[in-house]
Amino acid sequence: MSMGKGCRYGSHRVIEPKGILPQPAQKLDNTMSVYDNEVLIDVSTLNIDSASYTQIRAACGGDAAAMEAMIMSIVAQRGKMQNPVTGSGGMLIGTVRAIGADFPDKKLRVGDRIATLVSLSLTPLKIQRIKHLDPDHDQVDVEAQAILFESGIYALVPADLPEKLALAVLDVAGAPAQVDRLVREGDTVCVIGGGGKSGILCCYQAMKNAGPYGKVIVIEYSKENAQRIVDMHLATDVIVADATDALDVYHKVTAITGQRGCDVTINNVNVPNTEMTSILITKGQGLIYFFSMATSFTKAALGAEGVGKDIELIVGNGYAKGHSDLALNILRESGDIRALFETLYV
């Protein structure tokens, strides 16, 4: 039986509060019957957003069973995987089970393996069970179904890369794509949180764009992650420091750049309170790209004003045209990054 045609943006799935779109909604209808302009997906793996997964792990003391229960509870209450503390979601990989007759993309076929490139924080989701969860890795294997709206974007899972590797990279594809737009030849760039998944991709792209006369400085809390960056030659300078300590990082960065600071700062940190660090190390008329979902944009905007910095502050939109191809191509270009990610995610 046809469910009829829903709103292009999924507002027909919003239960409360009415009149808003699915992402900011508190609860979605996760009935797994497709409207004419939706796609039904059998989900195999959720890639939960790093800020969200870090928060869930901390709240559960790293206990896998408690983390499973919390994830199941969130989805049961909200009809989607949206962390109530961070507000963020993640993305998924699965198999197309049904396609509504009016879904506009006629290239998609039942049986296609796809990764959704829209947030789980707006995706109707129903989980039957969690098959595997590792507290140290943000990919969770599930038996579940999800809905992709007409406006939703996706990528076919590439045949030449392992699925979980592709999923790990597609989850953060917006970050290196934005770096490609923002970093120019000769720029001094700082990547805060450069040793994590999105950070490594950003470092690679920043080094590529800045070229031999530019600088790429990495701030990384973990000594192990910092050493990876050194070993893989993904930065010109690596600083081991706590990114929440704004003045310490400021002194260490300006020891390299001089008082002028950085042209571009990329913030990938998955913990709160790194906004002022980003601001202090960035030059006037420079720009900061906040990819992290742990960012408080109030703190960033008022903090920049408070220290008299005229800086362009860019919200980390996870979608940039061509981002999936660019991110997957980094794996194809860099054997080191592919080898590292395969050990972490496959």
Inter-helix orientation angle 223-231/197-210, to 10°: 30
* Token digits of residue 267: 């913030």
Calculate mean pLDDT across residues 295-310.
93
Helices then strands, each counted (H, E), the chain: 11, 14
* Token digits of residue 301: 């905007």
Q: What share of the chain in percent tops pLDDT 90?
A: 89
Note the pLDDT of residue 345: 82
Mean predicted lDDT score pLDDT of the chain: 95
Higher pLDDT, 149 or 317: 149
Distance CA 109, CA 265 (A): 41
Distance CA 11, CA 16 (A): 10
Strand, coil or helix: 24: coil
Where would I find the beta strands (DSSP E) of 121-274? 125-134, 137-148, 154-156, 188-192, 215-220, 237-240, 262-267
* Token digits of residue 145: 């179904």
Q: What is the pLDDT of residues 1-19, one digit of tens each?
A: 557 899 999 999 999 999 9
Residue type, 337: I
Strand partners, 46: 92, 140
Distance CA 327, CA 172 (A): 8
Nearest to 219 by CA among 283, 269, 159: 269
Domain boundaries, the chain: 11-157, 174-340
Strand partners, 82: none
Q: What is the pLDDT of residues 309-337, one digit of tens each?
A: 999 999 988 888 999 999 999 999 999 99
What torsion, rounded to 10 degrees, do the Cα atoms 249, 301, 172, 181 define?
-90
H/E run at residue 242: none
**Residues whose CB falls within 8 Å of the CB of residue 286, separated by 6 or more in sequence, listed in order:** 261, 262, 263, 264, 265, 311, 312
Whole-number CA gyration radius for the chain? 20
Q: What is the pLDDT of residues 195-229, one digit of tens each?
A: 989 999 999 999 999 999 999 999 999 999 999 99
Q: Sort strands 188-192 and 154-156 into parallel, antiparallel or unpaired.
A: unpaired
Residue in this structure with the two tokens 């469910």, named with its chain if needed: 3
What torsion, rounded to 10 degrees, do the Cα atoms 228, 223, 214, 299 define?
130
pLDDT tier at 271 (50, 70, 90 boundaries)? confident
CB atoms within 10 A of CB 167: 24
* Token digits of residue 196: 């994590």
Nearest to 25 by CA among 70, 89, 71: 89
Q: How far is residue 89 CA from its own chain's centroid?
A: 9
Strand, coil or helix: 16: strand
pLDDT tier at 256 (50, 70, 90 boundaries)? very high
Calculate mean pLDDT across residues 17-41.
96
Q: Above 90 in pLDDT, residue 280? A: yes
Nearest to 108 by CA among 148, 146, 161, 167: 148
The CATH number that domain 174-340 falls under is 3.40.50.720
Note the pLDDT of residue 171: 87
Note the pLDDT of residue 2: 58
